[in-house]
Amino acid sequence: MQPLSKVVIPVAGHGTRLLPATKATPKEMLPVVDKPVLQYVVEEATAAGLRDVLLITGRNKRPIEDHFDRNTELEQALRHKGAPHRLAELQRPEELATVHYLRQGAPQGLGHAVLRAEQHIGDESFAVLLGDDLIDAGSPLLPEMIKVQQRHGGCVLALMPVGPHEISAYGCAVTRPARTDGTFPITDLVEKPRSDEAPGNYAVIGRYVLPPEVFPALRATPPGRGGEIQLTDALATLARQGTPVHGVLHTGRRYDTGDPENYLRTAIQFGCERPDIGPTLRSWLDHYVRHEMPRG
């Protein structure tokens, strides 16, 4: 089987939960400490060997294109200043991967965004990584998902157990018991079910490895929840029609950056764990919470 090399990262959503920050900047370009969320996602893809990156962009694509392009003026200024470390950081995004861009047009849902990739992907399996979802660097999740897809074919989804009140924010997977290799056969999927109607507690998180058969399924998928074309609905159809859909459990951490509270939690955790600024940030945070934070 041909090794996977392509990844689709949809970054065309409106990001309404983070307005007004996202009025003129895509939410995927907001920084976590000093790096845009999207760069972490591209780094995760390239670490798993996926160096052909297709970004499905929206109306604010300019800062994204600039980020993954050279900035010769700034390069020269940093050379002149004698700042080799900063220069390396500046050049890192453009050296990571071959980045392609496609506009989604009107954002009509994640499924619609993925369908735009059909011509670029052709007849290969590929990965989809959501541009506002982070997992820890070095996590085995994506390499493991790629391995499962290469071994068994079909679709591979990342799963995480969540509490009954959280499941309504996710696609929910109906699974059979785990196989001996730890993967879960998925028999059905429901997009954002009500807590009392959820058929299980496994949430589908923003990592997918998909075969090209997903494209005809997406084309045949009518608008679903929120009037949008849902990737979950197309995958549910494939599962019901007998395409193998495998769940790989993510046991590490995952960070959502799509709303203010989770975005801030992510920034605080990443900052606290950074070797350069972490120690002083942690002691400042500890002092702030104990002594300076207004009570009540």
Interacting residue ranges for ligand UTP, rule: CB under 6 A: 10-17, 28, 56, 104, 107-110, 112-113, 130-132, 258
Complex with ligand UTP: residue 11 or 78, whichever CB lies closer: 11
Tell me whether residue 15 or residue 200 sits nearer to ligand UTP (CB atom). Answer: 15
Residue nearest to ligand UTP (CB): 13
**Nearest CB to ligand UTP, comparing residues 15 and 171:** 15
How long is the chain? 296
CB of 36 to ligand UTP, least distance (A): 12
The least distance separating ligand UTP from the CB of residue 142, rounded to whole angstroms, comes to: 16
State the nearest-atom distance from the C-beta of 91 to ligand UTP, in Å: 25
Residue 208 CB-density burial (10 A; 0-12 exposed, 13-18 middle, 19+ buried): buried
As measured in angstroms, the least distance from the Cβ of 227 to ligand UTP is 11
Q: Which is nearer to ligand UTP, 186 or 229 (CB)?
A: 229
Coil, strand or helix at 78: helix
CA 29 to chain centre: 13
Residue 110 vs 209, nearer CB to ligand UTP: 110
Round to whole Å and give the CA distance between 64 and 143. Answer: 26
18 neighbors 260 (Cβ within 8 angstroms): yes
SS (H, E, C) 22-46: CCCCCHHHCEECCEEHHHHHHHHHH
Compute the distance between CA of residue 243 and CA of residue 147 in angstroms, rounded to an integer.
17
The residues that bridge with 207 in the sheet, in sequence order, are 129
Q: How far is the CB of 190 from ligand UTP (least distance, A)?
A: 16
- The single-letter code of the amino acid at 88 is A
